[in-house]
């Protein structure tokens, strides 16, 4: 089973024949019930990251519960569509990007399942190369980029935005961490698929980023963005062969994974 964790405005993925699954976890309830349906030859589980009615802000999303619930359901490979701001004029609104690096600038989020036991997960390359290739092989997709994840829910100041850009970061987002590292701890393949909704505050002059504009841009591109995710799922092999996302070989874990 594949998983899709939808971002802002990405609330539905299947037709009326899909089924809904409610799960609880040791970390509380996930953002919403998980919808299970089919895309091509794959059974796919969809979870709205922010809840059905967008009730969870980026810093309050129950990330640990979300990832745990997907794994408990049988998911081992996850696509994470998300909205991002661009830190370069080369990537304007509507661009679809598959980042290959992540920088964490969040604070206070529960970002591990291993509070004991001295478990250290390799994360040099945070995204699954096999899942990334399933998307980057599609036409019109930008391959690569560094996504800096900020705490939110506020947008960046102009100075922060210029600082991020000066470091070579290309995208800014509020939900990519800890989602990606929790997937790695659970030995789940994970790849982000980013839709650019705006140029960040320091990249151009003007009023800066507004939530209204971000949501409107996401809605304008929602149909082709969903189509891209569907096409990426079609590119994924039926059998999982990736070993990059299996960091616990030879390690005794302090908890049992679902």
- 174 annotated as ligand-binding: yes
List the one residue out of 55, 56, 6, 76 whose CA is nearest residue 34. 6
Active site residue 198: yes
- 49 annotated as ligand-binding: yes
What is each CA distance from 13 to 6, 39, 40, 83, in whole angstroms?
9, 9, 13, 16
What is each CA distance from 39 to 14, 127, 138, 150, 246, in whole angstroms?
8, 22, 17, 32, 25
* Radius of gyration over every alpha carbon of the chain, rounded to an integer in angstroms: 17
Residue 213 sits at φ, ψ, to 5 deg, of -65, -40
Give me the catalytic one of 24, 137, 198, 213.
198
Give me the catalytic one of 200, 213, 234, 238.
200
- 199 annotated as ligand-binding: yes
- 24 annotated as ligand-binding: no
- 53 annotated as ligand-binding: no
- 213 annotated as ligand-binding: no
Cα 158 to Cα 205: distance, rounded to the nearest angstrom: 9
Enzyme catalytic residues: 198, 200
Q: Please report, in range form, the residues annotated as the binding site.
A: 8, 49-50, 174-175, 198-200
Q: Please report, in range form, the residues annotated as the binding site for phosphate.
A: 8, 49-50, 175
Q: Please report, in range form, the residues annotated as the binding site for substrate.
A: 174, 198-200
């Amino acid at each position: 089973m594949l998983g899709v964790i939808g971002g802002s405005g990405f609330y539905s993925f299947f037709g009326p024949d899909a089924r809904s699954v409610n799960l609880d976890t040791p970390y509380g309830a996930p953002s919403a019930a998980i919808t299970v349906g089919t895309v091509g030859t794959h059974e796919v589980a969809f979870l709205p990251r922010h809840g059905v009615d967008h009730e969870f802000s980026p810093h309050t999303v129950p990330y640990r519960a979300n990832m745990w619930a997907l794994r408990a359901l049988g998911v081992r490979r996850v696509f994470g569509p998300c909205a991002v701001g661009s830190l370069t004029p080369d990537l304007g609104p509507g661009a679809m990007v598959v980042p290959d690096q992540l920088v964490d600038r969040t604070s206070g989020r529960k970002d591990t399942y291993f509070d004991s036991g001295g478990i250290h997960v390799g994360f040099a390359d945070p995204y699954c190369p096999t899942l990334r290739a399933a998307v980057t092989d599609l036409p019109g997709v930008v391959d690569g980029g560094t996504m800096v994840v900020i705490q939110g829910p506020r947008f960046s100041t102009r100075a922060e935005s210029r600082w991020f850009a000066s470091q070579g970061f290309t995208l800014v987002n509020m939900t990519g961490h800890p989602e990606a590292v929790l997937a790695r701890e659970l030995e789940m393949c994970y790849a982000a698929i980013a839709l650019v909704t705006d140029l960040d505050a320091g990249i151009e002059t003007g009023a800066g980023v507004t939530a209204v504009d971000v949501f409107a841009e996401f809605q304008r591109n929602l149909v082709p963005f969903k189509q891209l995710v569907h096409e990426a799922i079609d590119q994924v092999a039926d059998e999982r062969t990736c070993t990059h996302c299996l960091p616990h070989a030879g390690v005794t874990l302090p908890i049992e994974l679902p």
